[in-house]
Amino acid sequence: MNAGNASAPVSVAVINATTGVTGPSNVLATIAANGATTFTAAQVEVATGAITPCTDRPRLLVTSPTASLQVSSFFLQPDGNFNEVSGGQLSNPPGLPTATPTGN
């Protein structure tokens, strides 16, 4: 969700679970001012160029030049139920605002 007053590009990179090294960051999309969107795993894989097995416990670094970006992670179930599994509020790289789950 972009809670700001201007559109903003959103970039994503994969963090290697073994080494902790962050891979290249690529633009996933531009989100309109006060806009929100949901990205699929396939969209993230295309943007990062990585198809990482879930057993590798991949982590993602989501960035934007706006401080008003809010990011949440969800496991969506076929029956419409979901689990909110964001970890952004627990880990904050230096210089980046802390992500706060939007809830639901």
Hey, what are 59's tokens? Answer: 């982590």
- Where does residue 6 rank: exposed (0-12), middle (13-18), buried (19+ CB within 10 A)? exposed
Half-sphere exposure of 27 (CA within 13 A, CB side): 6
Place of tokens 């029956």: 79
pLDDT at 76: 76
91, 86, 81, 90: which is closest to 102 by C-alpha? 86
More confident residue, 89 or 84: 84
Residue 92 has pLDDT above 60, yes or no: no
Rounded distance between C-alpha atoms, residue 20 and residue 51, angstroms: 17
What pLDDT, in 10s, does the model give residues 5-27? 999 999 999 888 788 888 889 99
pTM of the model: 0.69
Indicate the DSSP class of residue 42: H
- pLDDT (0 to 100) of residue 87: 62
Kindly tell me if the per-residue pLDDT of 85 is higher than 80: no
Q: pLDDT, tens digit, for every residue of 31-82?
A: 999 998 888 888 888 998 877 777 777 788 888 888 888 887 777 778 888 7
